[in-house]
Structure 1
Amino acid sequence: MTDPVLRPARSGEGPLLSALALRSKGHWGYSAAFLESVRLELTVHEDRLEGVTVAEVDGQVAGFSRLTQDGERAELHALFVDPPWIGTGVGGALLTAALRQARARGVREVGLDADPGAEPFYARFGAVTVGTSPSGSIPGRTLPRMVFSL
């Protein structure tokens, strides 16, 4: 595989990235009802493209991440890889770039609410589980709250 090319999201890519996020989530065996219940939360709004990094492989969008910063803290709001590229290093490239970018901006801590199935992925890159957070879509569901110390 060619290494992914990382670039900022472009105006008009919200629908493309939203569909990718749903395909990525669906890859992990979630039901159609579950996916419908998280659709709004996974929607990438055009007015929130700042901080979105897109990974392209051979000219095709293969994944994206979204990082925002507030002083010395940052939040990784999203990291999704299109199913054909899961396991190829696209996710790792996006995460490494987000952490590098945060560090360069003086961030000391990057937090995220991980999908339970993604907790081991983030842990491999140094994130520590510090508790749980309520799901933004499903009442009663909790997500691992994880933190990278930079």
Structure 2
Amino acid sequence: MITKPDGIAHHSHASASLSQDRFSKTRSDHAMELAADYAELIEDLQRLNGEARIVDMATHLGTSHVTVVGKLNRLVRDGIVRRQRHRAVFLTDEGKRLAAQARERHATVRSVLLAIGCPPEIAERDAEGIEHHISPETLAAFGRFLRQRAGDGDGTR
């Protein structure tokens, strides 16, 4: 919306385009956030149970079997997971990389929250949300902060 001298708000194509770009990026970011969460969950279930079954994923996520299958179909299309009908779900190399990156981001954010005095249970919960929205620059700054706290000099190593 642009307000013109007549005092009336008018839509502009430029502002609509900017809004569409922002929402498109938000949807893309949310899709990557879900992909990372699913990749981490699949890894956790494989470690705990020896396999990641759709029914276990649905139970853990508090959602329906149909919702999990829909998301898994997108993850298969995106090269994050592979699955066979009526069988367990497996991460591809890309899925494993995504899960590892998410775990590293989570650990870094959680460590900073603990370092500034957040109680462990709150740091854990908050890190789960922040890890998906933190910029690479801020994450790098968090890493430098943690290295400095650990006595690594200026934190650049």
Q: What interval of TM-score do these two structures reach, taking the shorter chain for normalisation?
A: under 0.3
Higher relative contact order (CA 8 A, sep 6+): 1
| Higher percent of residues as strand | 1
TM-score by length of 2: 0.24
| Largest Rg, 1 or 2 | 2
